[in-house]
Structure 1
């Protein structure tokens, strides 16, 4: 056997599938969309592997028996990817089939019922960026009608209490296998006047392609049903999930896409032609709340003592796959840099978490940094304890003299109040924010700066020294940016306002 034939034989051996699996693939390719729609329960079982090949644990046991160790992980990943691909394609087919048979209802002239589709349908508000965008939506909706009923799509009820506490009614259909059908039924039952999808940074498939597809489908189906809709300003990275293009290309013409920076808009238009419009982030429109008394008094006292009060944020998502030694180095270098700045300039630091989720939240890093500060400097480096809402943290950010942030929406909270900010960049979404304010992307901090002994020290000093100039530049651009943010909520302006809660 020659080399090429041997390689081909190896590939054939790796890709052999159960006969029922091959039959399932032929069934998908030959059946019409209508046929597949009629096979709802069967399609559901097939998609989740209930009929045609073993379930996850059974498959892993089978693979462990028949494959050598080096191939096991590859085989499991392949099977998981194939299942995701099948679910992805089925979602698209279900959406197109349902859209084709829909007749749009006449739009109402009053905002009575609103559906919000969150970017994180499980935790909803764990990310304070999501909190900011959802709360801004709530504020603008209630400016049109203080009594508007607001539902929010969720995937499971584990965090439903947080929705109820804010006046939302959770609708647990996001994780359903027949999501498109369930959503259409929800539209028919509740007769929504508008649907708002929180686009954020999850519209390019970087995190979860199927979630991105469901977010697009939610607005698309709403448009087909004649419901006013918008996908709030989102960013789009340079390596989107390729199969998402078919969802973008087939969007209903009345589906309103808002993209929050020109760089993202250019990337999206290269990826798929759409009618997307440029805005700034919807969180710029968030109305802030007063900070807690302890934080307010500390800021006022330090400023009275002649210090500038700067904010600081750092989080583990900046350092993906970091081992224990690297994590320790990042925390140590950050603490040393803050102490260096305290010794070199009359500044104080407020360490501000902007994400309270387990594993990816900010508290662990920031608490560890605060604990490394010498006792002689603890009154000049303070950790913001507790869990605060996005409006409260925007109120805190608005009282600062500057901010160093690894969270984009914390930076937006500061910039939206005219406070200078420098960002630690990740996932390709900060460049567009900087461009809005005429700031140079070259001034973005790299996470790698925290891996060296002196990487961050000079950057902090430079930012402190230039903060007045940055504040002036931000102030010049701010009115335009705030006006662009309001465009996210133009759909609410089509309803007559009964009262205003915005200021």
Structure 2
């Protein structure tokens, strides 16, 4: 199938055409995922020219928080990545004809390049990037994780893309080390796109008295309950333990969803927790997904973040707020190493509530040290994020 994709795309990209002064980004599915939206907004705000965003559905992404909405044009191709039939080839042709002569082609790599969420889709994206690079359009795989256990076919596609000159930009040192071990060329250390998320605000946290039920004497903890982790482990008792510890340490807790779609719904996970946990019923709740900018504003006002979602931890780190994050798909440990706090990454296995509670008490003893460690690494990580937007 990869040979067929290459043949169709090569033909679509061929022929006379004018230079297209636009950057193309192949987006993740997006709909119901604040992290995907944040990556998209970061890309748009960090490239100088107009953007063609290839998306699975017309309502997957919003331009509400993008200042120049005319900067973005959506190219809706529902069968490009996740189909194997006629519609797939039709969408490949449509994309090729639409992006001829573009300034660059980027894949929103994130979690999907190592096959952990689907071998076929990963192979297709590596193959598209390689073919477009060979056609003369600089191709990049933006800030992504590599779990070190990729399917052999995915590894082969990545190796071919690297040899073709695709710029491969892992978002953490663990992923870089794993890619090099898999003999993949063209690898350059970067960081997650969201560390380049647009904000004009200081990392200093104002008082949280304006938050629901809050006053200036209370500390605020933002707590995320991941629907993805909830599919793999019974986590309600673990969160009850965490919330009890936060309460004992004097925190007011706010439960915040970060992803809500049919496969992994944080809103449903929070509702389930509140049915079972007395402490969760005492907490405030954000009952729907909010925008990345609103999340950033919220975590800036927080004194602690505990999350099962990596991009919520990235927004918290960007705001200088202490964070503990549950690891999934081998993609979090390297992120926390970038900030010199590898122990703030906790595996979501039986007993993680007690492990996080112990860590919360340790952080409380020396909060200034955590602030200093995070702040001292943030500038360097933001510089690594900017690597995503360089052609070479």
State the TM-score bracket (shorter-chain normalisation): 0.7 to 0.9
C-alpha distance in 2 between matches for 1:197 and 1:367: 34
2:286 to 366, 384, 405: 384
Tell me whether 1:119 sits opposite 2:28 in the alignment.
Answer: yes
Tell me whether 1:350 sits opposite 2:251 in the alignment.
Answer: no
Give the match for residue 335 of structure 1.
240
Q: Residues 208 and 215 of structure 2 are in contact (CA less than 8 Å); yes or no, is this contact kept in structure 1?
A: no
Partner SS for 2:214: helix
1:225 shift after superposition: 1.9
Q: Residues 269 and 99 from structure 1, CA distance in 2 versus in 1: closer, same or farther, beyond 3 angstroms?
A: farther
Q: Residues 274 and 280 of structure 2 are in contact (CA less than 8 Å); yes or no, is this contact kept in structure 1?
A: no
Q: Residues 202 and 364 from structure 1, CA distance in 2 versus in 1: closer, same or farther, beyond 3 angstroms?
A: same
1:317 shift after superposition: 2.0
Give the match for residue 69 of structure 2.
none
1:213 to 109, 116, 123: 123
Q: Residues 339 and 419 from structure 1, CA distance in 2 versus in 1: closer, same or farther, beyond 3 angstroms?
A: same
Give the match for residue 276 of structure 1.
187
CA RMSD of aligned residues (A): 3.2
Q: Which has the higher helix share?
A: 1
Q: Residues 267 and 288 of structure 2 are in contact (CA less than 8 Å); yes or no, is this contact kept in structure 1?
A: no
Give the match for residue 161 of structure 1.
59
Tell me whether 1:244 sits opposite 2:154 in the alignment.
Answer: yes
Give the match for residue 211 of structure 2.
299
Q: Deviations over 1:253-277 (max 9, x none)?
A: 3321111111111111222321111
Give the match for residue 85 of structure 2.
177
C-alpha distance in 1 between matches for 2:377 and 2:51: 35
1:282 shift after superposition: 0.8
Give the match for residue 459 of structure 1.
359
The count of corresponding residues between Structure 1 and Structure 2 is: 374
Larger deviation: 479-488 or 383-392? 383-392
C-alpha distance in 2 between matches for 1:126 and 1:289: 25
C-alpha distance in 2 between matches for 1:303 and 1:357: 33
Q: Residues 335 and 370 of structure 1 are in contact (CA less than 8 Å); yes or no, is this contact kept in structure 2?
A: no
Give the match for residue 130 of structure 1.
36
1:114 shift after superposition: 3.2
Q: Which has the higher strand share?
A: 2
2:341 to 426, 430, 439: 439
Q: Residues 95 and 180 of structure 1 are in contact (CA less than 8 Å); yes or no, is this contact kept in structure 2?
A: no
Q: Any gaps of 5 or more consecutive residues in structure 1?
A: 1-89, 495-503
Q: Residues 351 and 383 of structure 1 are in contact (CA less than 8 Å); yes or no, is this contact kept in structure 2?
A: yes
Q: TM-score, normalised by structure 2?
A: 0.84
Q: Residues 472 and 106 from structure 1, CA distance in 2 versus in 1: closer, same or farther, beyond 3 angstroms?
A: farther
Q: Deviations over 1:259-317 (max 9, x none)?
A: 11111111112223211110111111112499xxxx9654397351x221111112132
1:351 shift after superposition: 1.3
C-alpha distance in 1 between matches for 2:226 and 2:279: 24
Tell me whether 1:285 sits opposite 2:196 in the alignment.
Answer: yes
C-alpha distance in 2 between matches for 1:162 and 1:249: 30
Tell me whether 1:310 sits opposite 2:221 in the alignment.
Answer: yes
Q: Deviations over 1:360-401 (max 9, x none)?
A: 1211222333455659983xx211222212232122122211
Tell me whether 1:263 sits opposite 2:174 in the alignment.
Answer: yes
Give the match for residue 267 of structure 2.
363
1:246 shift after superposition: 2.2
Q: Residues 141 and 167 of structure 2 are in contact (CA less than 8 Å); yes or no, is this contact kept in structure 1?
A: yes
Larger radius of gyration: 1
1:239 shift after superposition: 0.9
1:201 to 87, 91, 111: 111
Q: Residues 403 and 421 of structure 1 are in contact (CA less than 8 Å); yes or no, is this contact kept in structure 2?
A: yes
Q: Any gaps of 5 or more consecutive residues in structure 2?
A: 65-71, 202-206
